[in-house]
Structure 1
């Protein structure tokens, strides 16, 4: 990715270290504010195209920081894994590239919101599972803090969930799924297509070999 190297040389100094700490910290603050103020904070932050066009432009970005749940246990579990995966990817790629990965997903989520009228951050944050599994497929994590499972199987379950939501969900969910995965295609699409071409070439060569060696 030579273009990414050039971009990093120009903009790398602006990268935010440990970005997921910042994202999850704001999510936690919003969650706490909702508890204290009776849930009035989140409605002021969610993405709504009509309200944005009326001047509430902060909603373009604030929906990214909406907490994934109203449950204390699920919040702790979710934010812990966001940080775990984000820090691992940042360690593997460097701060700038991880920033770029996450921000591309943010841009996709915003685009999906303008197309459908409503934006969600759910699929953006879950896209971290795919990237983490691509980089560390054999890593084992403790699901719900006690159940050991390899990351690649967790990503497979995540993919099934995405597929299910794409089939049964509305257009908001479908657009969010497609556009929030822009980061995955940007970082892993080339490798995926090369793998597909290699496999296709392998099977073509194998069929040709069998054809030429028939008696």
Structure 2
């Protein structure tokens, strides 16, 4: 049992369900803000300088900034990310998916302060870098996580070309590597810091879970089936111990006396009185 499994046993009940849906909702909210009040964007960015001067809401508000502009392809990509994100939630479980996403957010924040400190130490004055850190890498980390977990899953590139998702992931990694190399050659170390910190959660998470990653989907499926079986067993146990769903207010018969009996509540009685089919129309109404 690895560290994450131990943490899940202890804190798993606090994990957020449907986290992917919340992420998509924040993107939609960001698009609405961008359309309704574009000037608000400058107050949402992840700026360590302003955070250190009291604007602490920026630690969270930058998540509202969508990864790209709004067009038809963006809408398609949102549906795509929702699909793969919910698949990861089902495969990994809510807790591990929460850890994966929130660790990425935390490392992005730490990376922004690290870069701010480096820039300040080198240049001698504070630098603004709000545009460098964005939710683009959160979306990319979801995609890379899905590609690592389901490398042979096939998607239609441009809705026409069937391609395994691992090849798209290789392409993304190659583009990231190229971006880092060009940043180093041009002396722009900030670009490297942004990429490494924003996607560090991908490397850390899979190093922590590499021993059990092949069985994680089966384990989560077995866990869910076990919980369902336990719930069914508890329901059957309650029924075996005399707790029934229906009981006639006149004769006292229940569904255990005759499974074919039908029960209805009387709308003309003053109170919640339930009757079997034999007494539903013959009883005296309670006033």
TM-score range, shorter chain: 0.7 to 0.9
Match of 2:108 in 1: 109
Match of 1:158 in 2: 172
Q: Which protein has greater RCO, CA pairs closer than 8 Å, 6+ apart? A: 1
Q: 1:155 to 1:70 in 2, by over 3 A?
A: same
Q: 1:94 to 1:190 in 2, by over 3 A?
A: closer
Spell out structure 1 runs of 4+ moving beyond 6 A. Answer: none
Separation in structure 1 between the aligned mates of residue 107 and residue 158 of structure 2, nearest angstrom:
29
Q: 1:64 to 1:33 in 2, by over 3 A?
A: closer
- Structure with greater helix percent: 1
Deviation, structure 1 residue 131:
1.2
2:98 paired with 1:99? yes
Deviation, structure 1 residue 192:
7.0
Deviation, structure 1 residue 145:
4.2
Q: What SS class does the counterpart of residue 149 from structure 1 fall into?
A: strand
Do 2:107 and 2:198's aligned partners in 1 also have CA atoms closer than 8 Å? yes
Computing the radius of gyration over CA atoms, which structure comes out larger, 1 or 2? 2
Map Cα deviations across residues 107-161 of structure 1 (whole Å, 9 max, x no partner).
1111111111333332232122221111111111233444432100110111011
Do 2:2 and 2:209's aligned partners in 1 also have CA atoms closer than 8 Å? no
Deviation, structure 1 residue 25:
0.6
Do 2:67 and 2:136's aligned partners in 1 also have CA atoms closer than 8 Å? yes
What is the aligned residue count?
192
Q: 1:172 to 1:61 in 2, by over 3 A?
A: farther
Structure 1 residue corresponding to 2:140, chosen from 126, 146, 149: 126
Q: What SS class does the counterpart of residue 40 from structure 1 fall into?
A: helix
Q: 1:163 to 1:105 in 2, by over 3 A?
A: same
Q: 1:173 to 1:83 in 2, by over 3 A?
A: farther
Match of 1:200 in 2: none
TM-score normalised over the length of structure 2: 0.62
Report matched runs for 1:189-204 at 5 Å.
Answer: 189=207
Map Cα deviations across residues 152-172 of structure 1 (whole Å, 9 max, x no partner).
011011101111221224333
* 5+ residue gaps, structure 1: 194-215
2:55 paired with 1:56? yes
CA root-mean-square deviation: 2.0
